[in-house]
Amino acid sequence: MMSVPQRRALRLALRLAMAVAVTLIFMFPIYWLFMISFKTPAEIYAFPPKWYPGQINFDAYAVLFKDGDAATVGNSLIVAFFSTALAMFLGFICAYSLARFSTGGQHLANWIVSQRMIPPIAVVFPIFLLYVFFGLVDTYIGVILLYTAFNLPYVIWMMRGYILDVPRALEESALVDGCNRWQVIWKVVLPMCRAGLAATTIFTFVFAWNDFIFALVLTRTEVATYTVQLTHYFGGQSNFWAKISAMSVLGTLPIFVVTAFMQRYFVRGLSLGAVKG
Amino acid sequence: MHAHGGFRESNFKYLLVGPAIFVLLLVGVFPLIYLLLVSFQGITMTETSTDFVGAENYRQLFDDPRLWQALLHTVVLTAIALPLELVLGLAMAQLFLDRLPGRAIFIALLVLPVVVSPIVSGATWSLMFNHRFGPLNQIIGWIMGKETILLWTINPNLVYPAIVAAEVWQWTPFMFLLLLAALGNVDRSQLEAAAIDGASWWRTFFRIVLPAIAPVMSIAILIRGLDLFRLFDIVWALTQGGPGTLTETISIFTYIKGFRQFETSYTAAVALLVVILLSALVMLLLRRVELAR
């Protein structure tokens, strides 16, 4: 018979073993994806597959930069950055109005969150036809405008929740002290919800950065994003594995780095603010 | 303008929402109206006349088995992937609920698939599933004790498991995170009371834990369900809807009709059908789920 502490220790050891196993299983595809970019072609097309590169090799990255393919990561950065800035600004002031004045009532709030749920393909098809007409296909402006609109409902909805968390009394005392509403927004409310603002900014940025379907339809060569460039390596000959892998690392690693700093806000950000975490 | 209270509040609040609503109408609603217009015309790759053809395109919707199959594929993928993600996510949340050495690090690592671009995770899994140079067939070969060549993205019997695997890999961590938060908020005193009463683990789970986490669970199901209905990227990377049209989702079908076969007006009708179906679904679900406060 085991004593109670022994049983506890055994239980913990079992849980720990399972935790390690689960984490390894979920990490393995990312490891595999990243690892291929450091292999030589001979190692990539070795049979049976090799599970690690003989030595770290950066040729795949060198090729991406030499051919200019890496510029598509720059395009992703440009469209994600500007659309995020625009969506955050427009969304924040709109959210303030919804939160403080209940502008438009519950109907407007519901309409905005339902905009989030429209299938991208249904929106992007008529947008494409209109963009052809206005000459906006394959332009930064066109992509930024669409990303802004697509992310606005998310920003408004999330920021509305964060602003509702700011005590009204703070604003009222600032108003008494002679600030006007516009100043209250920037000097009182904004600093009070900067954590929520940062988390929402990062999420919005990630949505734009990770988008594929809008960019697939609306870009050609000039402003193609890294996700679109990635699909150019698909199919045909499988000679492009090194490029698929290296391009994925370039597109994914920055996201891993920025999101590492916002673990606390993940649950709230992913659940559209419904779960505070 | 400069004096205290210089803003007229009633105008000011509309001034603040104005720009955002304008952008949403411009990019969200105006295109839908345009879609409606195009759907009553007869534009195709060869036909550029914008004459109205009545409800012709809508009649065609009902005579298009490929469309309804695409809808069916979408429903099937959702019906398989969503419960899997939910059950696996719940089991993982249960595993990581109590104190565990390195818990924060485990969770930080497990979250990573959620922030990977879906097209990248599709690409990742097509590398994993490659019949010759991918590790999965190799692992299966070790288990079977002989070399095994499974054509994951080509064999009609294997494409669905392949897509579901990629989908479940990417989004189970989403369920896990939300359910972990929900489980952490379950009232401890109720659990202790149940333990004192000698209730079994299962009984406690179904009587106390499950009702307590149900609101979060329904939100998670709503969000993932709607995402699955729009599924595009992962399937595009793995199969492009193939073999044939076997894994065509409704989004892929719409894309192919509009941008590969250039059946402009018919695609408009399909896109509107998708919007209507999804809106109905959203309204039905939003009424049951407490998303707003």
pLDDT digits (tens, 9 = 90+) for B148-203: 888 888 888 999 999 999 999 999 999 999 999 999 988 888 888 888 888 888 88
pLDDT digits (tens, 9 = 90+) for B263-287: 889 999 999 999 898 888 887 877 7
* Residues A247, A249, A253, A255, CA torsion sign: positive
SS3 label, residue B103: helix
The gap between the terminal CA atoms of chain B, to the nearest Å, is 34
Higher pLDDT, A197 or B29: A197
Query: Residues A233, A239, A241, CA angle at the centre, nearest 5°?
Result: 60
What is the distance between the alpha carbons of residues A86 and A92, in angstroms, rounded to a whole number?
10
Q: Is residue B264 within 8 angstroms of chain A, CB to CB?
A: yes
Instruction: List, for chain A, all residue ranges whose pLDDT scores fall below the cut of 50.
Output: none
* Chain A, window 221-240: residues with a beta carbon less than 8 angstroms from a chain B beta carbon: 227, 230-231, 234-235, 238
B69 falls in which pLDDT band (50, 70, 90)? very high
Q: Which fold has domain B69-288?
A: MetI-like fold (1.10.3720)
Name the CA radius of gyration of chain B, rounded. Answer: 24
Q: Which of A238-242, B113-117, B212-216, B221-225 has the highest mean pLDDT?
A: B113-117
- For residue B1, the model assigns a pLDDT of 42
B7 falls in which pLDDT band (50, 70, 90)? low
**Buried b vs exposed e over A57-84: b needs ≥16 C-beta within 10 Å?**
beebbeebeeeebbebbebbbebbebbb
- For residue B5, the model assigns a pLDDT of 46
Cβ contacts of B84 within 8 Å, gap of 6 or more = B164, B168, B172
What residues does each domain of chain B span? Answer: 69-288
Q: Cite the beta strand spans of A118-169 per DSSP E.
A: none
Mean predicted confidence (pLDDT) in B19-44? 88
pLDDT digits (tens, 9 = 90+) for A158-214: 999 999 988 888 888 888 888 888 888 898 899 999 889 999 999 999 999 999 999
Q: If we measure between CA atoms, which residue out of A32, A263, A275, A195 comes closest to residue B105?
A: A263
Whether A91 and B20 lie within 8 Å, measured CB to CB: yes
- For residue A141, the model assigns a pLDDT of 95
Q: Cite the beta strand spans of chain B per DSSP E.
A: none
Mean pLDDT value across chain B: 88
Nearest chain B residue (CA) to A20: B106
- For residue A106, the model assigns a pLDDT of 80
B293 falls in which pLDDT band (50, 70, 90)? very low
**Buried b vs exposed e over A253-272: b needs ≥16 C-beta within 10 Å?**
ebbeeebeebeebbbbbbbb
What residues does each domain of chain A span? Answer: 4-61, 67-270
Q: Is CATH 2.130.10.10 what the domain over A67-270 is classified as, yes or no?
A: no
Q: Is residue A98 within 8 angstroms of chain B, CB to CB?
A: yes
Nearest chain B residue (CA) to A259: B115
Q: If we measure between CA atoms, which residue out of A47, A34, A73, A46 comes closest to residue A242?
A: A34
